[in-house]
Amino acid sequence: MFQAHLMTELPIPGAFRLTPQRYDDVRGYFMEGFRGDVVSEAIGYPFVTGQVNWSSSRRGTLRGIHGTTLPPGQAKLVTCVRGAVLDVVVDLRVGSPTYGKYELTHQEADSGTAVYLSDGLGHAFLALTDDACMNYVCSAAYVPGTMIEIDPLDPRIGIPWPLTGPPIMSEKDAGAPTLDEAEAKGMLPTYEDCLAHYAALKTEFTR
């Protein structure tokens, strides 16, 4: 019987790193890419799959920092399934004890390492290889107009991107506000609202 993932909470509450057990034989290898029961047990309520996305990026592409307004929220499980990336979680919850802090995870396709982000957390990554492909398992379908974009080069956050030149970015990401600007404009969720949201989900789970 295959073992479940090792799921470890990161220093940012609500963010987890998942490491699956890899099984090698003469054919190649096998890994469980996603276990809903493991994720749900760790976060304390069911992780429901509402949408699955894929992205492919050239080496040097920087995507993010992206989050979602609350409501509606959109938790994510993000896995590199081809190539390699530097994956980053950023706490966008105003009032959180780790507000503005980040956590780094080096993801390679052969490792199966994944990162789970609760509602209120932001996500970004830098493609370290050509044709780096990311898989996103999302808790809800995307609602147009609810995405939060934050400048991934914001010096206040200070993510140590291993850049050798200017990153490849979308116009929207390149023109995104800093964390302080987004907070001043009321664009970010509060930690209090996120905790109430998590508690409501847990209450629904335990009925």
Nearest to 48 by CA among 115, 143, 144, 137: 137
What CA–CA distance (Å, rounded) separates 3 from 54? 26
One-character DSSP codes across 24-42: EETTEEE-----HHHHHHH
What CA–CA distance (Å, rounded) separates 62 from 76? 18
Nearest to 92 by CA among 143, 137, 151: 151
The single residue of 45, 99, 136, 142 carrying the catalytic annotation is 136
Q: Are 83 and 109 in contact (CB under 8 A)?
A: yes
Query: What secondary structure letter does DSSP report for 162?
Result: -
What CA–CA distance (Å, rounded) separates 30 from 110? 10
User: Which whole-number Å values give the CA distances from 131 to 57, 83, 96, 134, in the listed order?
Assistant: 5, 7, 35, 10
Geometric angle at alpha carbon 123, from 31 and 114, rounded to 5°? 10
The single residue of 66, 123, 191, 197 carrying the catalytic annotation is 66
Whether 136 is catalytic is yes
Structure tokens at 120: 């209120």
Whether 66 is catalytic is yes
Active-site positions read 66, 136
